[in-house]
Structure 1
Amino acid sequence: MRCVLTLLLLFSYSTSFSCYNEYYALDAKGRVHPVEIRTRKFKQAFNKQYLEKQLIELELKLKKKADFKLLSNYGLHLVQSGKVKEALVIFEKLAELHPDEYSIIANLGTTYELSGQNEKALEYIRKGIEINPDSHRGSEWIHVKILEAKIALEKDPNYLNNHSVLNLSSKQKQSKKIFDQLYIQLQERFPFSPKEANPIMADLFVNLGDYYFETISFEHAKAFYQLAQIYYKSDRKDIIKKIEQARKLREDYATKSMSGTPSGGVIIEKIQGVPYQNYVFNPPGSDYSIDWSKVETNPEKLLSYLGIETEKVKSETKTEKVASKEITSKPKKKSDNSMLWIGLTLVLLIISIFTYFKAKKKKH
């Protein structure tokens, strides 16, 4: 009896872990692709609570150790917290002192972009690529293309009506490497790109959707097209058409399933109807309000931890010295004036005494 119970327990143990789930998707040609239900999502904002903590800790470290890399990290966190103007002062000065430091040059380029200075941003992003062409897994060429498109849009608001941001060839549109790089750039850019009309972000998501449509999943492609249409408020007619094509393919392949029956108790499930909302999320702490009374934002003071003076500080110091000189010179002028009045008083007194005695002598 004991042996039977042992066998039953072993059988129960072995079968209780035998059921797994496997998901698959179909591309535009009906080809089957195994995929994970979990997707590489896009972060809508930064964790402000985490940033506040990091900024406070970094300032303490800077007070103990004058390290430009610590200050560069501080500037990055300022940018992520929305203090772009303050961070720009820091990165400009650090770039003067460390012109071959990739992180500083790249951070300066991105900060120029967030400040709306796209020409300068392009200059420094290109310089960053020269220093480190493999950064961000070699995806910074996409950043260059984005800046070029922004500059083109400044000159011609209708530029994207006849062009694409990346202008990919047919072969490039099928390249997994390129779309892994595009994913990287989109994930980095997403928190800085709020839910509002943005033709560049919309165009990039169309590119991502087109790749998925042909090579992985028309369901996921539809979600990317909707990010372009709904999240980034694009009214492009070709996007509407692409979404309709994806929905039609769902109907056409409604009964298509994976061929063969996998063993081992694996449950196979086809992915259907992926909402675009599945791709976006807000991290914990994104709604937190930073207490700026606890965080140093004055770039001049932050730079002073490294013994660096900005032109503003130099100018203020010069003004203070001039003012100090004027203040110290005023007592001297006051003293000179006093001596003059004393001299005049003595002269008048002598004249008065002389006049008095002269008049008295005439009476006699």
Structure 2
Amino acid sequence: MHIKTLAVAVLLSVMPMAHACINTVGTDHQGRRFSPDDYVGKDLVDGFTKPHAQRYWLKQASYVIKQARNKPDFKNLTDLGIVLVYQGQYDLAVRHFLKLERLFPGHHETAANLGTALELAGHDAVALKWIGIGIQRNRQEHFGSEWLHARILETKIALARDPRYLEGRSITGVVFERTLVPALPIAMPPGNDGRPVKPWELNSALAYQLHERTGFVRPTDPIVANLLLDWATLNLAGGPIETADVLYDFAVTYGAERDALMRNRQSYIQRVLAQAGKAKANGGECGICPPMPPPPPPPPKQSRA
């Protein structure tokens, strides 16, 4: 679920994003320490349990309504639709975004917001069509994560037909070995552009989608639980195991079963963390962190007169 324009600014202010100025240290599954440039463990999950965006938009409602009346341009009318969503007026938000599409056709923001409003109003099949339109309009929609929103909607539609649909299935489409510490999956799902996503892109998509979804969907929920399980195991395989541990707990909060494999994995994590202590970064690897951007080119040499 995603709300665009100013909502992105709010989200960026509260959501962990890669390569931010964050001085954290995590531990890989071999006990080596590394700097993921992201929130780790409990600090990460805390950002999911505090509805910053909702508080912001409800507080700004009067101002947004006034701006939309005084200057009904695309930005102000989009913001008005966002307020309607956070107020829980989903049917009204759907009608508003449909009107916005007629007034200002072709914007990817409208397609994504309309898809969200339709889903919240209970129209998953139509929502899926609009999410697809948003992806067609902008392959980078929501940091390239809308492919996962589409998968979520497909799952909701399938669950309506078969309540047991999710048994043994992963919404993300990845398969982890059922071992104590699995390797990162080799086969990855296609992203917005149809190409297989990389592990760090899967991690980013799960972070973005779950941050939005947990703001609207309260425990328990099988879809959120399924996503959290995959995200936890992804972090165990290639990220900070501190994060894997709290995400397993978060998944249980949303209804996942704490089976023997999860208990063994969390026990293993605690043993590794106890041995690693609080050392500084010492050569650990992060298989799900974004690649560092290339260094800037050297300045041109000054010619001598």
Q: Normalised by the size of structure 1, how large is the TM-score?
A: 0.59
The 8 Å contact of residues 158 and 165 in structure 2, kept in 1 or not, is answered as yes
Q: Tell me, yes or no, if the aligned pair for 2:34 and 2:281 is still in contact at 8 Å.
A: no
Q: 1:227 to 1:65 in 2, by over 3 A?
A: same
Verify the 8 A CA contact 2:25 2:281 in the aligned structure 1. Answer: yes
More helix by share: 1
% identity of equivalent residues:
30
Question: Contact between 1:46 and 1:81, CA under 8 Å: does it hold in 2?
Answer: no
- AA aligned to 1:91 is F
SS of equivalent to 2:274: coil
Equivalent position amino acid for 2:105 in 1: P
- The answer to whether structure 1 residue 255 and structure 2 residue 275 are counterparts is yes
The partner residue of 2:221 within 198, 201, 210 is 198
Which aligned pairs between 1:41-120 and structure 2 lie closer than 5 A?
41-46=47-52, 50-120=56-126
**Paired residue for 2:35?**
34
> How many residues are treated as equivalent by the alignment?
237
Q: Give me the whole-angstrom Cα distance separating, in 2, the residues matched to 1:184 and 1:26.
A: 22
Matched residues in 1 for 2:209 and 2:55: separation?
24
1:188 aligned onto 2:212: yes
1:142-186 CA distances to partner (integer Å, 9 max, x unpaired)? 111111111111111111112110112522397112211221111
Between Structure 1 and Structure 2, the one with more strand by share is 1
Deviations 1:102-147 (A, max 9, x none): 1111111110100111000000000010001112111111111111
Find the counterpart in structure 2 of residue 156 from structure 1: 162
Which of the pair has more CA radius of gyration? 1
The 3 A distance-change label for structure 1 pair 23 and 110 is: closer
Q: 3-state SS of the aligned residue for 1:77? A: helix
Shift of 1:76: 0.9
Structure 2 residue 250 is matched with structure 1 residue 227? yes
CA contact 1:225–1:243 (8 Å) conserved in 2: no
Q: For residue 241 of structure 1, report the CA deviation from its aligned partner.
A: 2.1
2:263 maps to amino acid: I
Aligned counterparts of 1:62 and 1:23: Cα–Cα separation in 2: 41
Is the contact made by 1:68 and 1:94 (CA closer than 8 Å) also made in structure 2?
yes
**Cα RMSD over matched residues?**
2.7
Query: For residues 165 and 214 of structure 1, what CA distance do their matches in structure 2 show?
Result: 18
Contact 2:31 2:272 in 1 (8 A): no
Q: Indicate how the Cα distance of structure 1 residues 201 and 48 shifts in structure 2: closer, same or farther if over 3 A, else same.
A: closer
| 1:244 counterpart = 2:244 | no
Q: Who is 2:200 aligned against? A: 176
What secondary structure sits across from 2:250 in the alignment?
Answer: helix
Indicate the larger mover: 72-81 or 41-50: 41-50
- The AA in structure 1 aligned to 2:267 is R
The Cα of 1:208 is off from its aligned counterpart by: 1.0
| Alignment check: 8 A CA contact 1:78 1:87 kept | yes
Partners of 2:102 and 2:92 in 1: CA distance? 16
- Alpha-carbon deviations, 1:222-269, whole Å to 9, x = none? 110110102x122363xx5223322134225633468xxxxxxxx749
**1:13-43 CA distances to partner (integer Å, 9 max, x unpaired)?**
xxxxxxxxx8644333334333566633214
Whether the aligned pair in 2 keeps the contact of 1:102 and 1:132 (CA below 8 Å) is yes
- Scaled by the length of structure 2, the TM-score of the pair is 0.69
Change (3 A) 1:46 1:24: closer
Consecutive unaligned residues in structure 2, runs of 5 or more: 1-22, 176-184, 190-197, 283-305
Unaligned runs of 5+ in 1: 1-21, 259-266, 271-364
Query: CA 1:58 to 1:248, structure 2 compared with 1: closer, same or farther past 3 Å?
Result: closer
